[in-house]
Amino acid sequence: MQKISVIIPTMKGREELLKKLLSTLPDDCEKIVVDDEDLLLAAKRNKGARQAKGDYFLFIDDDNYLKEFSISEMLKAFDGTIGVMGMTACYHDKKMIVADGGSDRNYLTGFTYGVGTNDKISDWNKKGIYTVDEVANAFMIPRHVFDEAGGFDEENFPIDLDEADLCKRIKDMGYLIVMNPKAICYHRSNTYSPIPNFRRPISAYHLSRNIILYQGKHLNALSYFVFCVVFLPVRLCFYTASLIWYKNFQMIPHMIRGFWDGLRCRRENPYQQKL
């Protein structure tokens, strides 16, 4: 029997969310809660993985809880070709609507497309397992694949794009990145909109900085040059217009600082807020 280690990064003030998640996990899972306030998300996940003893790692954020039998549905679907399997996330207050069905990425432009977002789960799960470029929020990885990939890159992507970077490296190793519509979690997220917004300065900064670090890491020199000259200005204008649309003017300086630090390849975290 395969042993599952569930790795849950959390922080102070989220005890009730964590309690709800833990109540929906099978008793025979190893449960590892990482609440180290000195670590950001990717480092918490790596710390949990170092402690884990399971054959499979389920990484799941603390603002989720599971539909019954979701973990067993994932285990049934794994074969030697799959490197990462994501859970389909539905909104916690609209349980029949998909919040996150994985993402496809245009590796040159850096823009992503959410697969199945805001579709009805009753329609979506007829697809069966399907491939994507990357997953987030709740996903399972065989231990040997995670170890071979070297875990999360917590230096470059302490939060935001840490899952995307890991999925790209595992995909480059020859494995599939898939989503399983029969494995469902309920996520406390806002309804997705194609117009991006930022709730916190740390997110505005890191998502803006990290996309440049991501492209620099995974593109060749010519493609990276095209991205910086053509598509990075498009992203800057699009994000700025979006924040103006939302009247979220206070996030614009953090976003611009992120783009600037990304171009300078700065990897330090200038924000004290932890996640």
Q: Give SS3 for 253.
A: helix
Q: Give SS3 for 89.
A: strand
pLDDT at 272: 57
Residues 121, 205 within the same domain: no
* DSSP label at residue 67: P
154-174, pLDDT tens digit by residue? 999 999 999 999 999 999 999
Could you tell me the residue range of the domain that residue 47 belongs to? 4-187
CA distance 223 to 108: 6
16-62, pLDDT tens digit by residue? 999 999 999 999 999 999 999 889 999 999 999 999 999 999 999 99
Q: ∠ at Cα 65 (64, 68), nearest 5°?
A: 150
H helices, E strands: number in the chain: 10, 11
Residues 152, 69 within the same domain: yes
pLDDT at 274: 45
68-82, pLDDT tens digit by residue? 999 999 999 999 999
Residue 273 within a domain: no
Residue 271 within a domain: no
